[in-house]
Structure 1
Amino acid sequence: MSRILTITTLISLLTITVLTTPATSATDSFVFGGCSQLKYTPGSPYDSNVNLLLTSLVRSATFTTYSNFTIKSPTPQDTLYGLFQCRGDLSNGDCASCVARAESQLGTLCPDSSGGALQLEGCFVKYDNTTFLGVEDKTEVLHKCGPLIGYDSDQLNSRDVVLGYLGTSDGSYRPFRVGGSGDVSSVAQCVQDLSASECQDCLSEAIGRLKTVCGPAVWGDLYLAKCYVRFSTAGASSHGGNGNGNDNSGNDEVEKTLAILIGLIAAVALLVVFLSFLRKSCERDRVAVKMRDEATEACLEPNNTILNI
């Protein structure tokens, strides 16, 4: 009986673990990534420099939300440049966690690549053997737009107000900006290796393109190589993922459904194993009872040899 209770408890714990495993946090969600076509030789000095750089970025993220490094080498082709930047509203702990996640994903996404870049919801990491630090780059990397809402003048006015605020310079250096008007909220950020004027120029360019490509959408994201701008209406927002102009709002629901199905399948499998064990245990008990009864009957039968003595 105690064995059955122990197995039942174990099955309950395993089932709960499967069904309640937390999903990846929002800050760790994938947005986009890219890798250099050039490859380096594993075990080479460049390989060592890549490992040193990425390790330095992860360590630095525990103290600050932005930093850049240059790993110099006697041979120019082995010199490496890299940076990370976290979203301006993240704590150091969340920033460090995001950068560590990005560093791990870069190893999978760009194995042996001489350069790579990865944008997660909460942070951006990039490295290359060609210097990009302090270089303005307004190349469009990604844009995504939500469903169209029609030309609702109030909605469009609110969107234009918040985007206009993000694009306004007050003379100070503001690499991270947030705004809101009505039920529309927005966020913008440029990489902090840019100067104040370059940051302003990049954000202005991104805002103009976002308004053009997404039009009257409920949400929109536009990423340039060195800055991004995003806006969303209350109750509607993007959900990460790679693409260009695609609404991936169904991804989360699919993942949740798959998680539930996997949990149910695991629970059923465990239940089958438990029932099989229970059946075998009952059969063993029946055999033991039968053998005990037969032994008892044998003891009660007259023994002629004993009686004749």
Structure 2
Amino acid sequence: MSVHAIFLSMLCILLGLAKPSSSATDTFVFGGCSQIKYAPGSPYEYNVNSILSSLVNSASSTSYNNFKISLPGSTKADIVYGLYQCRGDLSNSDCRDCVAHAVSRLGVVCPGSSGGALQFDGCFIKYDNMTFFGVQDKGVVMKKCGPSIGFDSDGMTSRDSLLGYLTAGGQYFRVGGSGNVQGVAQCVQDLSMSQCQDCLAEATLQLKNQCGSAAWGDMFLGKCYARYSSRGDHSRDHDSHDDNDNDDEMQKTLAILIGLIAGVALVIVFLSCLAKLCDRKGFFHISSKEDPHSLKAEIQEDRYIEARERK
């Protein structure tokens, strides 16, 4: 392989490393696992694997579904209940990718657990050995509040107006904006619409009480969530700064590596050209494949000829 080919290959590898490794929908939000473990190889394990596969397959065609799995040979105690839900603005392909990633991650977060739940930015999955379909859950699972921006009457009015809009929408998923504040809210669709609005009312109330004058806030309850940001991005705008910092560091590292590789390639090219030039002028005539005994004989013969000429 030529020097140029090696250089281009290494450059392509480095440029490939600069591509994003995952989409924003795969951002981890929270996870929870049951403390009860199932026995390996048990009917319950087979039911868990079956329901997780069903979640991924169904996500290719719809943004929400729930399942009750009891394979042949299972008892009542082996029944598994599970559901998934994707963010309402995702395409079917993005929904499936998010659910598939969540399912694979669940095996790491909750190995052998009889129940587990995982929330990503773009989807939510849950399974358990007890039915939870249609059961209200307004307990706070995760909350985050951004830095305080101080008292801003207009900003607070815009935020409260937005949260009111998200709560009263009569929809399972809603996005909106007021002034420079935007937000998103969503309920798990196993709830009735009245349960959904009740859950969102609690989530928005918690946001006001817990986050106060924060620039952004996330409030995740058991069956719904509400989020807002004064920077105009409901998809975890507050995390983007860390991501940008990491991207900047990666770009700097890549620039240094590419510079080093380019320098090494130039040195190799220079040495290669120098070797060819020297070879043409006869500086390097001896081949590594020559017989050392033959070479010694040639040297002795040259010395003998020189001695006779002197006489």
TM range (shorter): 0.7 to 0.9
- Distance in 2, matches of 1:212 and 1:190, equals 20
- 2:163 is equivalent to residue 153 of structure 1: no
Aligned residue number for residue 198 of structure 1: 195
Inter-partner Cα distance in structure 2 for 1:100 and 1:299: 78
Query: How many angstroms apart in 2 are the aligned matches of 1:239 and 1:167?
Result: 20
User: Which of 210, 225, 229 is the equivalent residue of 1:228?
Assistant: 225
| Residue 200 of structure 1, CA deviation | 1.1
Q: 3-state DSSP class of the match of 1:292?
A: coil
Judge conservation of contact 1:219–1:236 (CA < 8 Å) in 2.
Answer: no
Aligned letter for 1:11? M
Q: Which amino acid letter does the alignment assign opposite residue 79 of structure 2?
A: T
1:1-309 aligned within 5 A? 3-18=2-17, 20-72=18-70, 74-168=74-168, 173-234=170-231, 239=236, 250-257=241-248, 259-260=250-251, 263=254, 267=258, 290-292=283-285, 301=302
Contact 2:227–2:234, Cα closer than 8 Å, also in 1: no
Measured against aligned partners, the alpha-carbon deviations of 1:173-192 in whole angstroms (never above 9, x if no partner) come to: 51111221111111111000
CA, structure 1 residues 62+249, in 2 after alignment: closer, same or farther (shift >3 Å)?
A: closer
TM-score by length of 2: 0.82
**TM-score, normalisation: structure 1:** 0.83
Overall identity of the aligned pairs, in %? 49
Of stretches 204-213 and 285-294 in structure 1, the one that deviates more from structure 2 is 285-294
In structure 2, what residue type is equivalent to 1:251? D
8 Å CA contact 1:162, 1:180 repeated in 2: yes
When Rg is computed on C-alpha atoms for both structures, the one with the higher figure is 2
Residue aligned with 2:131, SS: coil
Which letter does structure 2 place at the counterpart of 1:5?
A: H
Residue 243 of structure 1: aligned partner: none
Q: Using the TM superposition, give the Cα deviation of residue 15 of structure 1 relative to its aligned residue in structure 2, in angstroms.
A: 2.3
Alignment check: 8 A CA contact 1:185 1:231 kept: yes
**Between 108-117 and 223-232, the greater mean CA deviation after superposition:** 108-117
Deviation at 1:147, TM superposition (A): 1.1
* Contiguous gaps of at least 5 residues in structure 1: 241-246
- In structure 2, what residue type is equivalent to 1:109? V
CA RMSD of aligned residues (A): 3.3
d(CA) in 1 for partners of 2:260 and 2:49?
42
Deviation at 1:168, TM superposition (A): 1.7
Q: Using the alignment, how far apart are the partners of 1:192 and 1:42 within structure 2?
A: 32
Q: Secondary structure at the match of 2:217?
A: strand
Whether the aligned pair in 2 keeps the contact of 1:220 and 1:238 (CA below 8 Å) is: no
Q: Distance in 1 between matches of 2:67 and 2:198?
A: 24
User: How far apart in 1 are the matches of 2:21 and 2:146?
Assistant: 23
Say which SS state the counterpart of residue 285 (structure 2) adopts. helix
Separation in structure 1 between the aligned mates of residue 100 and residue 256 of structure 2, nearest angstrom = 32
Contact 1:146–1:238 at 8 Å: present in 2 too? no
Closer, same or farther: CA 216–284 of 1 in aligned 2, 3 Å: same
Mean Cα deviation higher: 68-77 or 186-195: 68-77
Does the CA-based 8 Å contact 2:203-2:221 persist in structure 1? yes
* Cα deviation digits, residues 20-44 of structure 1 (max 9, x gap): 2214211111111111111122222
3-state SS of the aligned residue for 2:202? helix
Aligned CA distance change for structure 1 residues 132 and 272 (closer, same or farther; 3 Å) = farther
